[in-house]
Structure 1
Amino acid sequence: MDNCIGDAWSRSVLDMRVPRIALLPLLAVTLSGCDGGSVPMPPSPSATPAVSAPAWSDEEALEVATTVFKRYLEISNQIYNEGGAKPERIDVIASKTVAARDHAGFAEVSESTRTLLGKVELVKTTLQSRLLEPDETGSLAAVYACVDLRGTDVLDTTGVSIVSPDRPNTRTWEVGIGLGAAGQDEYIVTHKEVWSESAECE
């Protein structure tokens, strides 16, 4: 779509940091009492366990990622079709970084006089990678997700489409999937960037 709103919609239907657990070395200090004895060291705190990836096969990782991204698109489509209302609905299925971008797109639609119609449809997903531990965005698996934009439209106040005829038919996203936090779905979209655009999904 041309114009900022159309681009926000198609790109929002759109980051990978591995948390490293650093264990501070214990400082061995012996305090001498008046009797010449030593004060015992307090027990060292337990280390926070690292988050490990589920024991997915490639097929299982792809299936989970596809299911999560489909749900993400359903919620995103609904918010855009409702004029950007209740944008917090996306928060259950998206990381803070992904949700922040989406909220910006929803706000742009809410503040405009344009109408968004239709749905961005997921056509194809291809597994890119699955990880043994979360990457910098919290992703445990990544896929290429190709979506079809042809079922969407943006209308001005007179009901005339303002979508550029040069808009690509499809867009492929690089999508990361990771564990959700409290109050979120079990798995969420943790990363989303445009990978390519073309006439058809490859």
Structure 2
Amino acid sequence: MRILVRRILAGSAVLTALALAGCAAAPIPTWTNSPDPVVAPVFASNDEALAAAVTSYEAYGAMSNQITNEGGVNPERITDFVSDAYLAVVLGSFASVQDDGLVGSGSSAFDTVSLVRYDDDSAASASVRVYLCLDVTDVVFTDLGGNVTTPPERRNRIPLEVSLISSPSASTKLVVDKEETWPGNDFCS
């Protein structure tokens, strides 16, 4: 019996010590200089960021359609609509159209846009990611002889994840930084 009482008292002492440790004063925080001051948001809301992304992607799409429908000629016109990092990828696509002697007709469109993420990266710089459905139903490629080269089995609605970032010229003007086919469930079906 005596051993049992000692164990209960010892257990109670341990629990009391732990409880009192939780009540002890918190250590005084050490002041550190924060490298990032509070950043004012580029957009007032997620809705505003989404609207800017839609406007920017519409402008990018319009210029892309124009260049494609002219056979990839003067592709540098896309420069104001894409980031420096993405420019080489886009120019490479237009070079392929031109090298293959293809000419597009019609226009791509998009719908079903939803915001994935909006971040203020730094003062006057934002990044926005969206999901959207790119619709290329009306886009047809022909070769120089006028023969249609668009495969009949082509997917006409493509789920994309698009990343946009602030333009160096204006933080609220977004430019396309990346387009990737969404590998998950096809939300465009």
* TM superposition score normalised by structure 2: 0.69
Query: Partners of 1:119 and 1:108 in 2: how far apart?
Result: 18
Q: 1:153 — aligned with what?
A: 140
Structure 2 SS opposite 1:116: strand
Aligned mate of 1:193, from 161, 175, 180: 180
Give the total of aligned pairs.
Answer: 153
Q: Does 1:90 align with 2:46?
A: no
% identity of equivalent residues: 28
Q: Aligned partner of 1:149: which letter?
A: V
Query: Partners of 1:107 and 1:85 in 2: how far apart?
Result: 8
1:124 Cα deviation after fit? 2.4
Post-superposition Cα deviations, 1:20-53, rounded to whole Å, max 9, x if no partner, equal: xxxxxxxxxxxxxxxxxxxxxxxxxxx8989764
Q: Aligned partner of 1:181: which letter?
A: P
Q: 2:59 — aligned with what?
A: 71
Query: Partners of 2:43 and 2:171 in 1: how far apart?
Result: 21
After TM superposition, the structure 1 stretch with the greater mean CA deviation from structure 2, 191-200 or 54-63, is 191-200
Larger Rg computed on CA atoms = 2
Structure that is richer in helix per residue: 2
For the Cα contact (< 8 Å) 1:168–1:199, is it kept in 2? no
Q: 1:121 — aligned with what?
A: 109
Query: Partners of 1:160 and 1:95 in 2: how far apart?
Result: 34
Q: Aligned partner of 2:106: which letter?
A: G
| Higher RCO (Cα < 8 Å, 6 or more apart) | 1
1:184 Cα deviation after fit? 10
Moved >3 Å (runs of 4+):
47-53, 182-185, 196-200
Structure 2 SS opposite 1:125: strand
CA 1:50–1:100 in 2, change beyond 3 Å: closer, same or farther? farther
The alignment's C-alpha RMSD in Å is 2.9
CA 1:60–1:185 in 2, change beyond 3 Å: closer, same or farther? closer
After TM superposition, the structure 1 stretch with the greater mean CA deviation from structure 2, 118-127 or 52-61, is 52-61
Q: Aligned partner of 1:172: which letter?
A: P
CA 1:101–1:53 in 2, change beyond 3 Å: closer, same or farther? farther
Query: Partners of 1:117 and 1:86 in 2: how far apart?
Result: 17
1:114 Cα deviation after fit? 2.3
CA 1:199–1:129 in 2, change beyond 3 Å: closer, same or farther? closer
1:167 Cα deviation after fit? 0.8
CA 1:68–1:198 in 2, change beyond 3 Å: closer, same or farther? same
* TM superposition score normalised by structure 1: 0.65
CA 1:128–1:168 in 2, change beyond 3 Å: closer, same or farther? same
Matches within 5 A, 1:91-106: 91-106=79-94
Name stretches of at least 5 consecutive residues in structure 2 with no aligned partner.
1-34
Query: Partners of 2:184 and 2:155 in 1: how far apart?
Result: 6
Q: 1:178 — aligned with what?
A: 165
Q: 1:24 — aligned with what?
A: none
